[in-house]
RNA sequence: GCCAGGGUAGCUCAGCGGUAGAGCAGGGGACUCAUAAGCCCUUGGUCGGGAGUUCGAUUCUCCCCUCUGGCACCA
């Protein structure tokens, strides 16, 4: 059976347009998903939007529209951006979707119905009254630690009122020891629960200090924009049991009412969740695994959390008040979607914060894409056209070139096999651009070394020239395959220029790691004339 | 205050016990197939500071400074 891989992103809150951070996360997940597909896996890739909650309700009211109309409009913008950036998800999560709402209600019902035989009470959910100061803006009760020295609350909380309110709570503490054991076991097994693993200790600390339970409801009288609790129509679900459930509600074949997970659904577990560092603790690192555990998911079915950092702009935190929020659409307008994808993936070290500057984006584009990759394609194809009328000879004396590309004198076959194996083993948080650039650099070096223009002048060296051109053609075909997760569009153009309309063993997929081996282009194969893939960006052009 | 992660060439980072590395940026050179790209050479670092262990420390231990996250406390 085909191996499976599933990956999700956080779902974005539809209270404002998408920014660079949203974009990075989706591109990161897309690149990982494409890499897995390249390896022949069947991929489930879920992303989407979180549309409920008080802020949406309030903004919609303020703008004189309905919450649904308001979120629909923003949702279109998110989807349009992902389409433009070639984010190739297989399922779309929107929390106002009927199936999702049904699933959330079933999940809650199941936990509500899971009774302790001794008391007859639900083992996981209970109702309780809580009194205290409540921030309307932040939708939460405040504790003493938020109170200032003078007994008042800071302006960041907005209007604060004293309130007595009855709500439903989800028990967290009974799962603490289990979660600690899971975190430790996963680290010991070499596949940490949180990647990169330097965040594991952070999460562990948070779990050790876990206290109190999770409030999962809001009275309808003050928040109507949400999913009604199945066991109490006076309440709607508060964010986590709505938003987090999307990971399973939109997955194929999940049925919360079933005793055990269905095999059709289990086949997609465990999942990778790509999230920002701000929502690791407590949402994804604490609430979510505990929710899954209460629902009967096994330890083996628990996800891995891939936690990425944030983007700053010119060294400063992105914020609306600073006015430095980067609009991904504007960047794509100016520089193109693919260069933007490339920049995001090569500039950021997964897990850490990264800085965006326009200079770096342009520098990265010119150096890597125009000068290195693009120019390599252009010069290679041009030489094949000029020296051999566009045709390759596969049967030339390749043995003469063995060892040129490999320090220890290995064969071309071995070289390609090793490269493909190494590329295949890249972890999801790995660097997908540098290994490809390394191949391009090697090719550029070898061109200088072999001096094909001299070989061309010497009829006695005709065989060597043929062999060398074939070697270059195969190398750039390999590059096209390897770079395809990051630059799917450009990689397609690369194969077009190589006249690889359909890849031999690729089946329905155009990019297939199985094709990343030596000697695929047939004898007499005709390459197309080159067109520059990434025209060099210069300052004059920016003024156009 | 506690926990974790950083502090290595101008920039982004790798190395993590045995004479300091890569890419980019800067300087010089030879070449011409190419998007004035590429290639070669090169400038540049007492590897945050101090002490210790060791034949030997960027690499291990301790202390300190500093940045980033998380947690807590005071109020």
Residues A542, A508: Cα–Cα separation, whole Å: 40
- Of the candidates A210, A377, A336, A190, which has an alpha carbon nearest to the alpha carbon of residue A282? A210
CA of A407 to C1' of B42 (A): 24
- Residues found in chain A: 544
Nucleotides of B under 7 A from a protein CB: 3-6, 12-14, 23-25, 31-40, 68-75
Residues A114, A123: Cα–Cα separation, whole Å: 6
pLDDT at residue A276, rounded to an integer: 86
End-to-end CA, chain A: 53
Cβ–Cβ under 8 Å, residues A481 and A38: yes
DSSP states along A229-280: ETTEEEEEE-HHHHHTTHHHHTSTT--TTSSS--HHHHTTPSEEEEEEGGGI
pLDDT at A352 over 90: no
CA of A145 to C1' of B5 (A): 27
Averaged pLDDT score across all residues of chain A: 86
- Which tokens in the block code for residue A279? 């929502």
Q: Which helix (H) or strand (E) is A169 found in, with range?
A: strand A160-170
Residues A337, A58: Cα–Cα separation, whole Å: 34
Cβ–Cβ under 8 Å, residues A43 and A217: no
CA of A173 to C1' of B1 (A): 26
pLDDT at residue A48, rounded to an integer: 95
Given 3-state DSSP classes, what are the helix, strand and coil percentages for chain A, each rounded to the nearest 5? 50, 15, 35
* ipTM summary value: 0.83
Residues A237, A217: Cα–Cα separation, whole Å: 5
pLDDT at residue A321, rounded to an integer: 67
pLDDT at residue A157, rounded to an integer: 61
DSSP class of A193: S
Tens of pLDDT, residues A47-97: 999 998 888 888 898 999 999 999 999 999 999 999 999 999 999 999 999
Residues 179-208 of chain A sitting with CB below 7 angstroms of strand B: 198-199, 201-202, 205-206
- Which tokens in the block code for residue A128? 């309780």
**Phi and psi at residue A178, to the nearest 5°:** -60, -45
Cβ–Cβ under 8 Å, residues A398 and A412: yes
Reported as a pLDDT band with limits 50, 70 and 90, residue A348 is confident
Reported as a pLDDT band with limits 50, 70 and 90, residue A543 is very low
Measured between alpha carbons, how far is residue A511 from residues A11, A33, A239, A245, A427 in Å? 28, 13, 39, 33, 19
Q: Is the peptide bond between A532 and the residue preceding it cis, with omega within 30 degrees of 0?
A: no
**Residue carrying structure tokens 């504007």:** A330
Query: Residue at minimal CA–C1' distance from B13?
Result: A349
Strands (E), A29-116: 42-50, 91-94
CA of A344 to C1' of B25 (A): 20
Contacts 24+ apart (CB under 8 A), A414-420: A415/A518, A416/A474, A416/A478, A416/A516, A416/A517, A416/A518, A417/A517, A417/A518, A419/A478, A419/A482, A419/A516, A420/A478, A420/A513, A420/A516, A420/A517
Residues A467, A455: Cα–Cα separation, whole Å: 11
pTM: 0.92
CA of A190 to C1' of B54 (A): 32
Cβ–Cβ under 8 Å, residues A469 and A384: yes
- Of the candidates A36, A5, A8, A21, which has an alpha carbon nearest to the alpha carbon of residue A81? A21
Torsion angle of the four alpha carbons A273, A275, A279, A282, in this order, in degrees rounded to the nearest 10: 30
Cβ–Cβ under 8 Å, residues A54 and A344: no
pLDDT at residue A539, rounded to an integer: 52
- The mean pLDDT of A537-543, rounded to a whole number, is 53
Tens of pLDDT, residues A170-186: 998 889 889 989 988 88
Residue A184, Cβ neighbours under 10 Å: how many?
A: 13
pLDDT at A359 over 70: yes
Tens of pLDDT, residues A390-431: 999 987 766 666 666 554 556 788 888 888 988 888 888 878
Lowest mean pLDDT among A306-320, A375-389, A507-521: A306-320
Is A487 within 7 A of strand B by CB distance? Answer: no
Lowest mean pLDDT among A133-147, A191-205, A220-234, A302-316: A133-147
- Of the candidates A169, A202, A200, which has an alpha carbon nearest to the alpha carbon of residue A185? A200
3-class SS of residue A526: strand
Is A121 within 7 A of strand B by CB distance? Answer: no
Beta strand A125-135 with A140-142 is: antiparallel
Q: Which helix (H) or strand (E) is A355 found in, with range?
A: strand A354-356
Residues A18, A97: Cα–Cα separation, whole Å: 20
Burial of A267 (0-12, 13-18, 19+ CB in 10 A): middle
CA of A367 to C1' of B37 (A): 9
Residue A333, Cβ neighbours under 10 Å: how many?
A: 11
CA of A198 to C1' of B18 (A): 29
Cβ–Cβ under 8 Å, residues A30 and A88: yes
Residues A541, A114: Cα–Cα separation, whole Å: 65
Residues 334-373 of chain A sitting with CB below 7 angstroms of strand B: 347, 349, 352-355, 363, 367, 370-373
Region of residue A78 (phi > 0: left; psi between -120 and 50: alpha; otherwise: beta):
alpha
Query: Residue at minimal CA–C1' distance from B25?
Result: A363
**Residue carrying structure tokens 């297939």:** A512
**Phi and psi at residue A266, to the nearest 5°:** -55, -30
pLDDT at residue A145, rounded to an integer: 55
DSSP states along A282-301: IIIIIIHHHHHHHTT--GGG
Residues A349, A432: Cα–Cα separation, whole Å: 11
Cβ–Cβ under 8 Å, residues A82 and A26: yes
pLDDT at A324 over 70: yes
pLDDT at residue A294, rounded to an integer: 94
Tens of pLDDT, residues A457-497: 999 889 889 999 999 999 999 999 999 999 999 999 999 99
Residues A518, A434: Cα–Cα separation, whole Å: 21
- Which tokens in the block code for residue A54? 């008080």
Nucleotide nearest to A278 (CA to C1'): B69
């Amino acid at each position: 059976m085909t191996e499976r891989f599933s990956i999700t992103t956080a779902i974005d809150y539809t209270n404002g347009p998408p920014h660079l951070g949203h974009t990075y996360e989706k591109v990161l997940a897309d690149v990982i998903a494409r890499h897995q597909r390249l390896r022949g896996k069947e991929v489930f890739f879920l992303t989407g939007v979180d549309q409920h909650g008080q802020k949406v309700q309030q903004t919609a009211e303020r703008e004189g529209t309905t919450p649904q109309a308001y979120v629909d409009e923003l949702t279109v913008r998110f989807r349009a951006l992902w389409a433009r950036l070639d984010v190739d998800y297989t399922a779309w999560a929107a929390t106002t979707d009927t199936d999702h709402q049904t699933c959330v209600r079933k999940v809650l019902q199941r936990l509500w119905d899971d009774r302790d035989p001794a008391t007859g009470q639900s083992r996981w959910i209970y109702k309780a009254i809580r009194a205290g100061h409540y921030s309307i803006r932040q939708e939460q009760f405040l504790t003493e630690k938020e109170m200032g020295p003078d007994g008042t609350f800071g302006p960041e909380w907005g209007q604060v009122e004293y309130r007595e309110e009855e709500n439903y709570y989800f028990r967290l503490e009974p799962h603490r020891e289990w979660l600690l054991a899971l975190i430790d076991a996963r680290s010991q097994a070499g596949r940490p629960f949180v990647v990169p693993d330097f965040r594991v200790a952070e999460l562990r600390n948070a779990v050790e200090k876990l206290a109190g339970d999770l409030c999962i409801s809001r009275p309808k009288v003050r928040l109507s924009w949400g999913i009604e609790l199945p066991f109490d129509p006076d309440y709607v679900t508060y964010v986590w049991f709505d938003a987090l459930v999307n990971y399973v509600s939109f997955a194929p074949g999940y049925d919360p009412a079933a005793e055990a997970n269905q095999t059709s659904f289990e086949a997609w577990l465990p999942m990778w969740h790509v999230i920002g560092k701000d929502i690791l603790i407590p949402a994804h690192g604490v609430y979510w695994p505990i929710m899954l555990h209460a629902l009967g998911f096994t330890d083996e079915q628990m996800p891995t959390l891939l936690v990425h950092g944030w983007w700053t702009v010119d060294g400063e935190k992105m914020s609306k008040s600073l006015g430095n929020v980067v609009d991904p659409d504007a960047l794509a307008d100016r520089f193109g979607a693919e260069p933007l994808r490339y920049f995001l993936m090569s500039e950021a070290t997964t897990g850490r914060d990264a800085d965006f500057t326009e200079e770096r984006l342009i520098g990265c584009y010119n150096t890597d894409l125009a000068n290195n990759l693009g120019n390599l394609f252009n010069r290679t194809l041009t030489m094949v056209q000029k020296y051999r009328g566009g045709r390759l000879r596969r049967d030339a004396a390749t043995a003469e070139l063995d060892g040129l590309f490999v320090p220890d004198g290995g064969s071309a076959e071995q070289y390609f096999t090793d490269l493909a194996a190494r590329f295949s083993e890249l972890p999801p948080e790995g660097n997908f651009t540098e290994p490809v650039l390394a191949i391009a650099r090697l090719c550029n070096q070898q061109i200088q070394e072999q001096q094909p223009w001299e070989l061309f002048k010497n009829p006695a060296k005709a065989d060597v020239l043929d062999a060398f051109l074939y070697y270059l053609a195969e190398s750039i075909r390999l590059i096209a395959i390897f770079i395809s997760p990051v630059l799917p569009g450009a990689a397609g153009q690369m194969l077009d220029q190589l006249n690889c309309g359909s890849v031999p063993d690729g089946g329905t997929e155009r990019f297939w790691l199985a094709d990343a081996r030596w000697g695929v282009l047939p004898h007499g194969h005709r390459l197309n004339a080159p067109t520059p893939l990434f025209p060099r960006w210069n300052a004059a052009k920016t003024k156009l």
